Each structure stands twice: as C-alpha cells, then as structure tokens.
Structure 1
C-alpha cells in the first residue's frame, strides 16, 4: 500500500501575470512541499514557496485545485496529494533556487510561453496550470 503524503504548493504570479516555474532534477515544476505536523495547508504552501524560491511577502489566493500523483522513493510507493493555491508577489524580488532540493533554476514565464516549459514537465502540473489559467480568464 502506498504511503500518503500531503503537500502544499503555489502557482505564483508577478505584476506582469507571469507564473514562476522551477527546474528541478531536469524537469520544469511548480514550488511545493510536504505538510508538517500541526501545520495548516495554506501555511505549508506559502512556506514551501518561500523556501524553494526565496520570495517574500507572498499574497495567498484561492485554492486552484488538488492533484495526486504516485512515485517510488527508497523502495516505497508514495501517493502525493498536493493542494495548489494561487499566489501573488509584487515588485522586483531576487529569486533564490533552493539547491538542497535540487532546484537549479527559477523562471518567470508568460502564459503564451508556458507550453514550451510544460513539454518538459509532469501531467499534473500541466492540468493544474490549465485550471489556473481558465480561472484567471473567468475573473477578467
């Protein structure tokens, strides 16, 4: 039976409505991480984005959706359930990739260019980003 991990993540946008992608282990991804004991999922999502990107003063938005994916780690089957939140940052901030988590690059990406990055990403990232862009269009 798979070990279940709950995680929080962010679809972070800047003043130009670009979304922050991160290059981790050769794939483009979005910042996310494991929920700590006693932590609220919203706090987890913001904390993980801060840790993985170096961003500060993150404005937490609404829940975009929840994705589930499966992988193996150290011989164990893992089921990871990630709660994705829309987030916003303002102004010019320095991006600092968290090298300890194998994040080697951070990049702001316009919606029109997103497919170039999603070609080298994961299916659940593509799905949650599409959901995010669809919600953005409805709100305009």
Structure 2
C-alpha cells in the first residue's frame, strides 16, 4: 500500500435550461449539490461527466463549455480534482431515487445561491451562466 493517498479524479455538470439549474439532494450528506462522480477505470473525464449526470439526474445531456476545475481534499483525506462542464439536456428519462440521490430539482438560477450548500457549486453556476451568455 502506498504511503500517499490516491489522487481521485471526478467529473460533473452544471445543467442549465430556461433560466433554471438542475440540482440534486444527497441524503448521505444531507446537502444540495451539483451532479458529479468519480471516473471509472479507463474512462475519460468527458464520458464520466455525462455518465454521472445521467446516473444522478436521469438526464441525457451534451457537453458545453468546460468550466473551472476544483481541487480539494475529500472526506477520506485524498487529493481530488473535479472537472466540470456546462451541459444542455437532450432527453429526460426521469430520476429514479436512490441512496446516493433522492431528489432532483430545477430551480431558478437566482435561487441556487440560497439552496446550494457549497460555495464552489454556487461559483460554478455563475460561471456556467456567464459562459451561456457569451455563447
């Protein structure tokens, strides 16, 4: 076993539509966040972002602009990098609630500031909105 913790790679999406953003509730953490998750072995960040968003929201999306990555130490003490993309919905298959995600909401972007639990998520929503305004 290595003396250094494995660097965790993850990816996720900020899904915007008609002035709203899609957020998820994670019951294990009792928080509201954006959909993201760890890469599978051999998976690209882009593929992981699309897969995780689908698994956690029931939404099939396309990638837009890449947003600022996040780097931090996770709850298990491992360094973690998350790459993010703005996304647009192609199809909504509906959320199947699970132990990981039990609720999905579309909220007005202005309400994201109050509902999202993490500043880095709020900053990503602002960045995605600014990116969409430039497109």
Identify the TM-score tier after normalising by the shorter chain. 0.7 to 0.9
Q: How far has the Cα of 1:115 moved from its partner?
A: 1.5
3-state DSSP of counterpart to 2:23:
strand
1:7 maps onto 2:10 in alignment: yes
Deviations 1:93-116 (A, max 9, x none): 52334x132x22110011122122
Segments of 5+ residues of structure 2 without an aligned counterpart are none
Query: CA 1:36/1:125 → structure 2, altered by over 3 Å: closer, same or farther?
Result: same
Segments of 5+ residues of structure 1 without an aligned counterpart are none
1:44 maps onto 2:44 in alignment: no
How many corresponding residue pairs? 130
1:108 maps onto 2:98 in alignment: no
1:130 maps onto 2:130 in alignment: no
Q: How does 1:82-97 map onto structure 2 within 5 Å?
A: 82-90=82-90, 93-97=93-97
- Give me the CA root mean square deviation: 1.9
Q: How far has the Cα of 1:6 moved from its partner?
A: 0.7
